């Protein structure tokens, strides 16, 4: 599909946050792609050089909080996910705005904004930000949607001012899940949260990065 021309792609559905395309890879050959991207920005039409330089659709944060006690905890939240009809334990995440993409460090710009909106955390120069992965495809057999993973290590005396009041649009939150090391390991072993609910692959990534200790290297 890398050499496909844009005119070989038919738009089947087009809304603000989701589009569906028919990638016509051969006569009578159809492959359907659910994407957040406009037709001319699809991963499938990019030349290799452009493909390697593209920005992700969104950024998922791995916020590790260290309070006055010195204990590190992973900040997760209970967010309602409409396609599964449940509140899932999830890391803060959000789409990259066009303004973020123009910044010198687009991934960090998106991470800062999303953390502020979803947790109330205002990052400072003393907080550590690291790109864990610049772009991961969610499910490339069905979509070209992608997320970067950014780890943020924040040290404060306390985090009593965390808030979800910045939720926008259809976002629905049901509180935070500050997760210590033992709880994170339990979630990983069981594949479920404390309420027995499954979680997303990006939650699994956040848990793995936390328990690995690589965030502290």
- Per-residue pLDDT at 25 exceeds 90: no
Residues 142, 151 contacting (CB under 8 angstroms): no
Q: Which residues pair with 210 in a beta bridge?
A: none
Sheet strands (E) in the chain: 9-14, 19-26, 29-35, 58-66, 72-81, 86-90, 93-95, 128-137, 146-155, 173-179
pLDDT of residue 1: 45
CATH, domain 58-216, list 3.40.50.2300, 3.90.79.10, 3.70.10.10, 3.40.1160.10:
3.90.79.10
pLDDT of residue 73: 98
pLDDT of residue 107: 98
pLDDT digits (tens, 9 = 90+) for 40-88: 999 999 999 999 999 999 999 999 999 999 999 999 999 999 999 999 9
Whether the full predicted model's pTM is greater than 0.75, yes or no, is yes
The residue length of the chain stands at 217
- Per-residue pLDDT at 6 exceeds 90: no
pLDDT digits (tens, 9 = 90+) for 176-213: 999 999 999 999 999 999 999 999 999 999 999 999 99
More confident residue, 11 or 3: 11
pLDDT of residue 169: 81
pLDDT digits (tens, 9 = 90+) for 97-134: 999 999 999 999 999 999 999 999 999 999 999 999 99
Query: If phi over 0 gives left and psi between -120 and 50 gives alpha, with beta otherwise, what is residue 188?
Result: alpha
- Per-residue pLDDT at 5 exceeds 80: no
Each domain of the chain, given as residue ranges in start order, spans 6-53, 58-216
pLDDT of residue 26: 83
Please tell me the distance from the alpha carbon of residue 169 to that of residue 186, in angstroms, as a whole number.
33
pLDDT of residue 3: 47
Q: How far is CA 19 from CA 10, 16, 35, 85, 136, in A?
A: 11, 8, 5, 22, 19
- Per-residue pLDDT at 28 exceeds 90: no
- Per-residue pLDDT at 4 exceeds 80: no
């Amino acid at each position: 599909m890398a050499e496909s021309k844009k005119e070989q792609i038919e738009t089947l559905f087009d809304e603000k946050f989701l589009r569906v395309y028919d990638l016509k890879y051969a006569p009578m050959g159809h492959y359907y792609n659910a994407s957040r991207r406009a037709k001319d920005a699809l991963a499938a039409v990019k030349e290799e050089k452009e493909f390697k330089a593209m920005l992700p659709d969104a950024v998922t944060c791995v916020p590790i909080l260290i309070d006055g006690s010195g204990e590190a905890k992973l900040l997760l939240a209970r967010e309602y996910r409409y396609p599964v009809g449940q509140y899932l334990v999830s890391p803060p995440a959000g789409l990259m705005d066009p303004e973020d993409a123009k910044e010198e460090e687009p991934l960090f710009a998106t991470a800062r904004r999303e953390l502020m909106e979803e947790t109330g955390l205002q990052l400072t120069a003393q907080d550590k930000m690291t790109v864990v992965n610049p772009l991961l495809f969610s499910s490339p057999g069905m979509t070209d949607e992608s997320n970067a993973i950014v780890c943020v290590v924040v040290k404060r005396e306390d985090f009593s001012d965390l808030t979800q009041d910045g939720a926008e649009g259809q976002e629905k939150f049901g509180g935070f899940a500050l997760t210590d090391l033992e709880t994170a390991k339990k979630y990983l072993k069981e594949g479920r949260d404390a309420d027995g609910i499954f979680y997303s692959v990006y939650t699994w990534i956040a848990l793995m990065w936390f328990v690995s200790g690589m965030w502290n290297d």
